[in-house]
Amino acid sequence: MRRLLERFDRAFFAEAPAERLAILRLLVGGFALVYLCVRAVHLQRVGHLPPESFRPIGVVSALSAPLPLWAVRGLVAAAIAAGAAFVAGYRFRALGPVFGALLLWVLSYRSSWGMVFHTENLLVLHVIALALAPAADAYALDARAARRAGAAPPEPDGRYGWPIRLLCAITVIAYFIAGITKLRNSGLAWATSDILRDIIAHDNVRKLALGDTHSPLGGALVRYPFLFPPLASATLALELGAPLALFSRRIAVVFCGAAWLFHLGVLLTMAILFPYPLLGVAFAGFFELEKMRDLRRPRRAGPPPASRRGGEAPLGRRS
């Protein structure tokens, strides 16, 4: 047991560069900030809904009645301002957790009116994890201020590694829970029957009836029942096998690619958009992002072949 804990400690708290964690802050925080700005009008519009439609969930369950419109608008504006500070890495120790809390509240409040938006869950968890980490020690206003004060650039350290592993763990657990839920609700029939086909057909028929955006491709594919058991089996294998991505970089790459294709399939067959994973931001923690800088640097030409006349050893094995 002790050896197992030691191995876990070495893996989870393995050293990582501050730049990698900072890039994750920029990507995840930047996505959250843009998402809030794009959805700002919609997020405030819930303040006009009838009070009897209010069904608080999560942290919003502390409320017994809806907030006044001015409070809803103020919280959305505060979340956007805190998000800008989060991305810039400004006073991150204080404003990072503030942004995490405001994002959780604003999106939970929007989901407290009869329709829960599951597409936002992973984003919120990632933001909260980064908000509690030293994610502004590079590529941040805080980092620039520290350098001006004479602080040395941060070396790779375990304190930059554990938040990255936590983001990856949150990601695979989210998919694993989805797989377990399928088994609890349908058992192995999910992979062997027409359940997936029925879900796609029902979703598109409902959207057609409501005049909502539907998927013509999904409607066409339901005519071919033999397609869906293999697709359902692949989905279940992806979700139940997601935790394996934590133990192998190659498996992680396969998992990220398969999960991206899964969300692309959901978009094409059901017109349901999961922008966070489709843009790849949800899987960024699995990659060594700081090495992207090396891809942009031109390769230097190597030295000319060594000359025997100059007294240098020839290319190949050196004595």
Is the dihedral angle over the CA atoms 306, 309, 314, 319 positive or is it negative? Answer: negative
Residues ≥6 apart with Cβ < 8 Å to 195: 186, 189, 232
Least confident interval from 74-88, 166-180, 304-318: 304-318
Report the interhelical angle of 158-186 vs 18-38 (nearest 10°).
Answer: 50
The rounded distance, in Å, linking the Cα atoms of 243 and 166 is 12
Q: Is the pLDDT of residue 314 over 60?
A: no
Give the model confidence (pLDDT) of 80-133 as tens digits: 999 999 999 999 999 999 999 999 999 999 999 887 778 899 999 999 999 999
The rounded distance, in Å, linking the Cα atoms of 208 and 184 is 30
Least confident interval from 49-53, 271-275, 301-305: 301-305
In whole numbers, what is the pLDDT of the chain averaged over residues? 90
Contact 286, 168 (CB under 8 A): yes
Give the model confidence (pLDDT) of 232-274 as tens digits: 999 999 999 999 999 999 999 999 999 999 999 999 999 999 9
Q: Is the pLDDT of residue 58 over 50?
A: yes
Choose between 15 and 319: higher pLDDT: 15
pTM higher than 0.85, yes or no?
yes
Confidence of residue 225 (pLDDT cuts 50, 70, 90): very high
Contact 36, 106 (CB under 8 A): yes
